[in-house]
Structure 1
Amino acid sequence: MTLTIDALREAMRDNYAQPEGPARNARAERLLAEAEGIGEPLAVIEALGHQLQVYNYSSEKAKMFVPFARLLRMWDERPEDFDAYETHALHWVFKWVSSGMLDQPHIPLAAIEKWLGEMEHRYRLAGHSERAVRQGEFRVARHLGDLERAERAYAAWLAADRDDMADCHACELHGQGVWQAQLGADEKALEIWAPVLEGEHTCAHEPHAVLASSLLPLVRLGEGDRARAHHLRGYRLVRPMESMRGAAALHIEFCALTGNEARGLEILAERPAYFTDSGDPDSQMDFLSVAALLMDRLVALGHGEREVPGPAGTRWTAGALARHARGEALAIAARFDERNGTDRVSALVGERMAQEPLMERLPLGVRAVGAVRAGAPVPAAPASASSGEPAGVEELLAEARRLTAARHPDARGAWARLGRAVAADGPDGLDHVDGLARAELDDHAAMAHDGEPAEAIALFHDAARQYEAAGEPARAAAALARAALLHALDDRPDEALRGVEQAVARLLTLHAEGLAAPREVSGGLLNQARIRMALLEGADDGTVEEALTALEEFAAPHGDDAAVTDRAAEASSLRGDLAARSGDLAGAVGHYARAAEIFHAAGLPWYAVEAEARLAGAARHLGDLETAERAARAALEHGGPYVQARWHARLHQQLAEVLAQTGEFGQATDHALEAAHWADEAGESGHFGAYARHQLGGWLLRMGSTAEAAAILEAVLPDLTVDEHGDGMVVQTLWWLGECLMALDEPRAAAEHWLRAADLAAAWPEQWDHATLAGLAGRALYRAELLPEAERAYGRAAELWRELGDVHALVRTLRIRGWVAGGAAGRELMAEAAGECEAALSEASGEAADRLRAELADTYRQTGELLARAEDPDLREALAWVDRAATTFASAGPAYTDQSTGADLLAAWLLLDLADPSSAAARAGAVRERYESAEGETAESRRSEADSILREARSL
């Protein structure tokens, strides 16, 4: 069946709303074939214009020259076939074609210059400004590297009048800012881009492109926070748009230069066709260039053999893709240079691929799967802790023993370095150290072991045997006490208790014989207390108290011995744990504070970290946020250089939560970003990292950074499971994400998330959240114009509110359903809402009754509005309902005066529509008089509206 031109237009509108790409282009080609069967030249003209549009915004830009040539020929032969819109559109796409030619290296430069002249001629004939022409000339000159001509054309572009052929403000500002950044004027570029970034000027592709272009200038200016925000906000925008390959390349380049290589890999993997789509060689060259840059970063980090995403059909390593992408990018650049007669494009591509990182690390807050830096060390210990890493085994052993004697946290690293040096010597490596050193190596390897407890226990027992053989029985007993603690942590209580009691008994005997140092004995007693605490299932039965007392009594005579002092501090910390467990948080705070104080007095601030962290937690639960913040900051400061990545994550997250509770959301987000980063480094992205990102997204939303929050929350959703994180956390994340998407005008997606959250909340005993989420989903579906779906969601919410007995929520939901339904059905729902109010009012009194009267009045008012806005409005009946609303508002008391006068003014507008200006003026005049001397925004608004009605009444 042949299409009509109206059906063709509808089909083209539907097609343009589809995602960019080959499918949309193919549909445009079929529509052109169908348009040719209509028999009207305008149908063909419009179909050709549609084809031009979809080609221009796709990876098949090279196809747009054919339909444009046909359009231009039709114009030259019969311009009368073009209506005003298509005449404008034909001249508009001259710009696309001229810039598109520049991006195609097979089109000769002479042809491009000739085409630019043709554009200037036709614009002059049509009476258009030369602004767009000079902008086109600027693009040509910039591409060629002709700076003098570029500056001249740039000045002429800005000086020419803006008319309806000029690019939109947002696109023009993007191009101007890019030029300034290219000249090295980053601050000037950002100043130019500001109206686009702030939302003053936007279009279908802005601020998408400006956000991408601003990334590196911001980093160069030291504005990492803004750069991160622009990446999170900007990549969400360009991600679904095939035509924005150049912008995607800028995001990959940003990741490569800010320590976010894994994030760059994820972006690279999302569109493998970007490697090979050749319809726009310029953006393909950009993409290949940054792919090579990213791969070079991976190679430099030692990941040259890592498998990476690349062109389809081949398995790529980072090293192989680096070579391939570099070669392809330079080959395209060479084609441009051959066309241009310069080496400028190749030089620019080479410079881009050779860039060095601008910063070591900029946390982004989004998880990058398979982080290429996972397992990276935490910040290095201060230089004073070590005089550099010795080269030989003897020197390494001496350094390890020195740091151990000083109880410095870098001792663990020193023993690990020694272990690697010994292992490097092969089977004969142990021959280079004596029996005591072998025992120490096993002992410290067991203490540092992160695997199965059984493996560490075996190492402790090996160490004990070697200590005995080396004539160090006290150290052997201490190693066995440590092994016993692992038995307790591995849920083997009998072995733990038997082992520690035997070890402590032997240590005390050896001490009495002068063969065990106080530190060795106190260490055994400490492990005994730790084991008792680990095995405690309920309230202390006296065993933990007994163990702690034994430790403290032994340590008391050795108060001047620095080697024993930290044991006393740990005893105090354990007492804090015991108090916290019994619910005595105030007591716990005192014990933790005392432990930290002892550690600091002993010159061992790094050991105070755990006590300070627990002090922060206990103080926070008590509501003492000042102490909590101080302790959390201290823990982070003292543990920063030494603790493992997982501890970094927890310390940053703890401080973030305290700061959020004090309202310092900006600082809280900074620490949450660090927490998420260190969780990734510790391999805990899916659990602790997900929690940190969940919180980060919520805080960003609270701060109004909705686009950033949406990016974070979208990224964290795949990591959240009900089994691991609980349905409450999943529901909260979905709820926040829905709020973000509504603010970003993505109501359909918001509804999907809210409905999923509502389904989870349906299983909860308390149904308030379920009802609220169903209502929110209805609102989003209504805004998305999915009316049947909105009605179902609101109906679900209404039934829930009815079951919960929340009359106000029920009535408001029924009113919204009335607006969704409209017509007679809408009126019935308004009547049902009024009935619910009236029924509840009959049993209410006092303030509750007044609130219900106001709710009833609002229902009357909205009933009137619904009638007034109907397709066939009944204004007199609408006026009756609004009058009833004003009276009912007034009966609710002085608190509802503003609502009553608002209804009066609505009634006055209806009276004007009913051609009764005198009555309208009387109603408006009474409101005007009531607010004559009142102050405030509402009073000013009422006076202004009343004055408008009075002026309208006088004119009738």
Structure 2
Amino acid sequence: MPDAQRLLAQARRLSAVGHPEAAARWAAAAAAAARTGERLDHVSRAELLDHRSRAAARTDPAAGAAGFAEAASLFAGADLPGEALVCRARAASAASRAPEGAAVPPESLDALCAEAQHLHAAGRVGTRHATAVLLVRARVRARDLGGAQDDGGNGGGTPFDAANPANRPPAADAEYAAGPARPESAADPLGPAADALDAELADLVAYALRDRGEPAVRAGIAEAVETRGMLAARRGDAVRAGELLAESADLFHEAGRPWSATGPELALARLLMETGDHKRAAEVLRGALQDRPGAAVRPSADLARLHLLHADVHAAQGLLAEEAESLRHAAHALAGSGSPAEATRAGLRLGGCLLVLEETDEAAAVLVEALGGLLEREDEPGLVQACVWLGQSCTRPEQVRAAAGLLRRAAELPHRWRDRHGCAVVTHLAADTHRACGRHTAAGELYGRAEELWRELGDPHAVIRTLHARGWLAMESGAPVEEALGFMAAAQEEIARVLRSEEGPRDEEQRLRLRLEVGHTYRQTAELLVEPVPVPAPGELGASALDCYARGVEYAERAVAAFHSCGDAGLHEATSAELRAAALEVDLGRYDQAVTRLTRVRAAYPAGRPDPHGTVAERESEAGALELRIETALS
């Protein structure tokens, strides 16, 4: 059998059961025929033109209408009146969406429906064809009520089909999209036209019912019932909508079309979620994914949508492990559906879920892969989220090294970031990861760039954090201690500049935060001075080490004073700095001064002071440990 004929036979078999792969087979058959120059009969040409017009009608309704009309003529010439009539109805549907003034077939859908019923009564067309024509008119009327555009008559879901995000009700009707039944006193958001459409669909079902044993007719009935269910949901009648959507899904399965059941199953699950019945929503989705026969033959995109909604249901119930499992399935299905962008987004969500579950190794691996995809599309919001989560999930050196390169790529996108705050966040994170894996030069460059971005954004707290990090980086890279201290001095200058600036914060809470930063900066300066010095044995501090420790005590003392100037807001930080100064005094052998500091710490916490977070007990414990060190040293 020639290639084109083989593909045509496959396309016909798939179309007969409404399989979603049918469109691709028709396109392949058309391409094979064009490539080989094979002459096709009138029926094959009509079929190919019909399916090509369905695709054309989505973007160019006038061209689609003309193609359907030509296909109808070919079918009529081949003595296939049922196929011809359906194509004429599709032409009228496409024509109704064509721009004003476009040359389109002038036929009326009402007249075509009357003709279909007449020919059906005369036995000249089957119930399948007559039902298809009636459904085309119902789709157009549903579209006119505010549903999405119909699909050119390919039977691929209702205009209200929730399986496709583009077909969800507009925001103006969000309060009636699903949920508790609309109060009787509330205005119907769709009005009498919805009553007429519902009655038309009910009549269509009754009309087709006697031939429901034919799978194609049963599928048509299922579509009509689904449209009624979506219409009821939009009108706020959740109970009736749920019954109709469940019935529609059952009918699609009975017709051997599990892929077509995806729309009503998703819509039913969303409806149940919005009414708070998450348990039943989970049952619907579990049934669609596991229990129904034929679930395995659904397209990957449909499986992904079901798994993603299942993840939403789990998330709404706080079932994190189950949410992660559904997201794993969704990401796998999307990867196989040729939807890399959606697969990346699912992977990003999965990474965040795994991070909360503290499965950091898997989270890091998933986020690294997701970040690679986000970089290809330069998805700024996704990049920021992925970088934050990746920074939190990397615990092993090899993970940090892998993350560092990706974060730098994100920070250095070829185009200028539109989200300047997001760019600053990512650049700072890139600097942190380079620092963590010992790439000091690159980290220094990235911190410098981050500081510039934070200044540009007017975020003094972020500027101060960056200067602190640069001070520590200088110490870790072996730079002279004065270089590290220079960054801490720059942080103090930044705080002072902002506090005295006329453009500085007027809000007392913001000013308090900056005053607390003074204490934090002094405290970190003290740590920078003593960190590089090995912990000494008693009496073994050399002159250089003695100087570092003595200066450390001075800066710790300044931190104590800065925190105390902030009142109760700085009390716990002041006592922590006091204890650090006391420990340094002990290292220097200045035991009397250390005891004086411990006395001040205890005096800061009078007996009976509330201690909801255990901070007071922690300070008492640290003070006791230092007293024991002093006693041991003096004994």
- TM-score under structure 2 length normalisation: 0.65
Q: Is the CA contact (8 Å cut-off) linking 1:629 and 1:658 kept in structure 2?
A: yes
Matched with 1:848 is 510
Matched with 2:295 is 640
Q: Does 1:665 align with 2:316?
A: no
Aligned with residue 450 of structure 2, among 794, 797, 821:
797
Aligned with residue 901 of structure 1, among 566, 575, 597:
575
Distance 1:636 1:885 in 2: 61
State the Cα distance separating 1:908 from its structure 2 match.
0.4
- Taking the TM superposition and a 5 Å limit, the aligned residue runs for 1:171-250 are none
Q: Is the CA contact (8 Å cut-off) linking 2:556 and 2:577 kept in structure 1?
A: yes
Distance 1:495 1:524 in 2: 22
- What's the CA shift string for 1:670-717, capped at 9, x where partnerless? 2223223333444x1534434433433333333222222333344455
Q: Does 1:572 align with 2:221?
A: no
Amino acid corresponding to residue 942 of structure 1 in structure 2: R
State the Cα distance separating 1:924 from its structure 2 match.
2.1
- Taking the TM superposition and a 5 Å limit, the aligned residue runs for 1:670-681 are 670-681=325-336
Distance 1:636 1:440 in 2: 36
Aligned with residue 534 of structure 1, among 130, 149, 170:
149
State the Cα distance separating 1:890 from its structure 2 match.
2.5
Matched with 2:474 is 821
Amino acid corresponding to residue 89 of structure 2 in structure 1: A
* CA shift in 2, pair 1:676/1:484, >3 Å: farther
Amino acid corresponding to residue 711 of structure 1 in structure 2: A
Aligned with residue 882 of structure 1, among 549, 553, 556:
556
Q: Is the CA contact (8 Å cut-off) linking 2:375 and 2:410 kept in structure 1?
A: no
Matched with 2:352 is 698
Aligned with residue 768 of structure 1, among 417, 421, 435:
421
Distance 1:588 1:831 in 2: 67
Distance 2:278 2:413 in 1: 33
- What's the CA shift string for 1:793-837, capped at 9, x where partnerless? 112222222222222222122122222234223223212212332
Matched with 2:526 is 864
Q: Percent identity?
A: 28
Matched with 1:729 is 382
SS at match of 1:534: coil
SS at match of 2:589: coil
* CA shift in 2, pair 1:937/1:829, >3 Å: same
Q: Where in structure 1 are there 5+ consecutive unaligned residues?
A: 1-392, 394-399, 417-434, 580-585
Aligned with residue 654 of structure 1, among 309, 312, 318:
309
Distance 1:952 1:710 in 2: 43
Amino acid corresponding to residue 774 of structure 1 in structure 2: T
State the Cα distance separating 1:916 from its structure 2 match.
1.6
Q: Is the CA contact (8 Å cut-off) linking 2:430 and 2:446 kept in structure 1?
A: yes
Distance 1:603 1:833 in 2: 67
Distance 1:495 1:671 in 2: 49
Distance 2:519 2:482 in 1: 20
Matched with 1:207 is none
- Taking the TM superposition and a 5 Å limit, the aligned residue runs for 1:374-393 are none
Aligned with residue 785 of structure 1, among 424, 427, 438:
438
Matched with 2:113 is 504
Matched with 1:924 is 598
- What's the CA shift string for 1:830-875, capped at 9, x where partnerless? 1221233234445545433332222221112112222334664443
Distance 1:482 1:824 in 2: 80
Amino acid corresponding to residue 528 of structure 2 in structure 1: L
SS at match of 2:412: helix
Q: Is the CA contact (8 Å cut-off) linking 1:761 and 1:769 kept in structure 2?
A: no
Distance 1:441 1:487 in 2: 22
Amino acid corresponding to residue 667 of structure 1 in structure 2: E
Distance 1:445 1:681 in 2: 29
SS at match of 1:760: coil
Of stretches 894-903 and 743-752 in structure 1, the one that deviates more from structure 2 is 743-752
Distance 1:488 1:732 in 2: 44
- Taking the TM superposition and a 5 Å limit, the aligned residue runs for 1:751-766 are 751-760=404-413, 763-766=416-419
Amino acid corresponding to residue 494 of structure 2 in structure 1: E
- What's the CA shift string for 1:533-568, capped at 9, x where partnerless? 42799999xxx9999766544344566553575354
SS at match of 1:707: helix
SS at match of 2:438: coil
Distance 2:271 2:464 in 1: 44
* CA shift in 2, pair 1:634/1:524, >3 Å: farther
Q: Is the CA contact (8 Å cut-off) linking 1:774 and 1:796 kept in structure 2?
A: yes
Amino acid corresponding to residue 884 of structure 1 in structure 2: R
SS at match of 1:858: helix
Q: Is the CA contact (8 Å cut-off) linking 1:480 and 1:500 kept in structure 2?
A: no
Distance 1:783 1:907 in 2: 28
Amino acid corresponding to residue 406 of structure 2 in structure 1: H
* CA shift in 2, pair 1:619/1:791, >3 Å: farther
CA RMSD of aligned residues (A): 5.1
Distance 2:334 2:66 in 1: 27
- Taking the TM superposition and a 5 Å limit, the aligned residue runs for 1:457-468 are none
Distance 1:490 1:646 in 2: 30
SS at match of 2:419: coil
- Taking the TM superposition and a 5 Å limit, the aligned residue runs for 1:362-511 are 473-474=81-82, 476-481=84-89, 498=106, 501=109, 503-504=112-113, 506-510=115-119
- TM-score under structure 1 length normalisation: 0.46
Q: Where in structure 2 are there 5+ consecutive unaligned residues?
A: 1-8, 26-40, 58-62, 151-158, 160-165, 173-189, 213-219, 476-480, 534-543
Distance 2:250 2:105 in 1: 33
* CA shift in 2, pair 1:491/1:824, >3 Å: farther
Matched with 2:589 is 915
State the Cα distance separating 1:917 from its structure 2 match.
0.4
State the Cα distance separating 1:780 from its structure 2 match.
1.8
Amino acid corresponding to residue 923 of structure 1 in structure 2: R
Distance 2:128 2:375 in 1: 46
Q: Is the CA contact (8 Å cut-off) linking 1:887 and 1:900 kept in structure 2?
A: yes
* CA shift in 2, pair 1:881/1:681, >3 Å: closer
State the Cα distance separating 1:631 from its structure 2 match.
5.8
Distance 2:336 2:532 in 1: 61
Q: Does 1:836 align with 2:482?
A: no
Matched with 1:949 is 626
- Taking the TM superposition and a 5 Å limit, the aligned residue runs for 1:291-330 are none
Matched with 2:365 is 711
Q: Does 1:554 align with 2:200?
A: yes
* CA shift in 2, pair 1:592/1:634, >3 Å: farther
Q: Is the CA contact (8 Å cut-off) linking 1:592 and 1:612 kept in structure 2?
A: no
Q: Is the CA contact (8 Å cut-off) linking 1:446 and 1:456 kept in structure 2?
A: no
Matched with 2:340 is 686
Aligned length: 520
Distance 1:456 1:678 in 2: 35
* CA shift in 2, pair 1:449/1:751, >3 Å: same
SS at match of 2:149: helix
Q: Is the CA contact (8 Å cut-off) linking 2:364 and 2:399 kept in structure 1?
A: no
Matched with 1:523 is 132
SS at match of 2:298: coil
State the Cα distance separating 1:902 from its structure 2 match.
0.6
* CA shift in 2, pair 1:503/1:702, >3 Å: farther
Matched with 2:181 is none
Q: Is the CA contact (8 Å cut-off) linking 1:589 and 1:615 kept in structure 2?
A: no
* CA shift in 2, pair 1:935/1:675, >3 Å: closer
Q: Does 1:938 align with 2:553?
A: no
